[in-house]
Amino acid sequence: MVTHELELNRQNLHGPFSRDRPPVLTIDPGDSVRFKTLDAGWGIEPHAEDGTRRQFSPRDEEADRGHALCGPVAIRGARTGMTLGIHVDELRVGGWGWTGAGGWSTPVNDRLGVAGERTLLRWTLDPDEGIGTDQYGHEVTLRPFMGVIGMPPDEPGFHPTSPPRACGGNIDCKELVVGTTLYLPIPVDGGLVSVGDGHGAQGDGEVSGTAIECPVDRVQLTFTVHEELHLKNPRARVEGAWLTLGFDDDLDVATTRALDGMLDLIEEQFSVGRREALALASVVVDLRVSQIVNGVQGVHAVLADGAIRR
């Protein structure tokens, strides 16, 4: 198997997803790709005290709108209807990050009454010690992951980076750290995977709309194609558990989709019927809110290893 590298340059960066965007790299199943990414907002340096900073240039107002993504990468043999496995081999954040709150109108900000003046936490990140420290001296433990890993929907035109979809994108699930494997239904031949939106740390919900948004000096992903696995929504293998994910404008519908995927998994693994799977899920499956701030909301269902024994 081969490890490829994508440099952080104009050719490899883009904003919206599009099935018509040509791949910048084509690989074989089993190959790995090492990416370097900007922060979600295309920043190339930390914010100054007044909140200003420099951003990557040149940029196209239409083609680069949204998160700064690296790719797309095509995988030979990946076909519509199959499943793409994406294993997170390693991830090293850059030395700085930021978290914003308020400053813009969102349903959450409006309900909390914080849509006015913006607050900005400016973080210094120590990837070796796994610690982030803001300008006020608050320290948090880093648990980095990529907020966006996904493929374009099989529809013409540009598709915004903000909402998560069944084929991935801005999933913002904090469990997708090093050592995990994300499984996504493939919407277009070749897959056309893009990656970005490094997060140094995030809580379930991402309640202000931002995590510790940071550049990533190195993230290595290994790609596999699963011909016989046909998913409606993503699932993931994390340390000690399986996750299934659901997305929708309505949190109840997102919950139902995550649970539907979990029932599929329980049926597969334990050879039970649908109603029995639901009864078992009610005993051992946890439902968690991945994020509530991307327009399309996310829920993940969690089945711990050993929770069902037979």
pTM as predicted: 0.96
Q: Using pLDDT thresholds of 50, 70 and 90, give the confidence band for residue 113.
A: confident
- Please, what are the domains in the chain? 3-93+144-226 (2.60.120.580), 240-304 (3.10.28.20)
**Span 282-301, average pLDDT:** 97
pLDDT at 285 > cutoff 90: yes
Quick: pLDDT tens for 154-200: 999 999 999 999 999 999 999 999 999 999 999 999 999 999 999 99
Residue % of the chain over a pLDDT of 90: 92
The mean pLDDT of 3-28, rounded to a whole number, is 97
pLDDT of residue 110: 81
Query: Tens digits of per-residue pLDDT, 35-49?
Result: 999 999 999 999 999
Confidence tier at 5 by pLDDT (50, 70, 90): very high
Give the pLDDT score at 310. Answer: 82
Give a three-class secondary structure readout of the chain: CCEEEECCCHHHEECCECCCCCCCEEECCCCEEEEEECCCCCECCCCCCCCCCCECCCCCCCCCCCCCEEEEEEECCCCCCCEEEEEEEEEEECCEEEEEECCCCCHHHHHHCCCCCCEEEEEEEECCCCEEEECCCCEEECCCEEEEEECCCCCCCCECCCCEECCEEECCCCCCCCCCEEEEECCCCCCCEEEEEEECCCCCECCCCCCCECCEEEEEEEEEEECCCCCCCCEEEECCEEEEEEEECCHHHHHHHHHHHHHHHHHHHHCCCHHHHHHHHHHHEEEEEEECCCCCEEEEEEEECCCCCC
Token digits for 136? 């006020």
- Residue 145, pLDDT score: 98
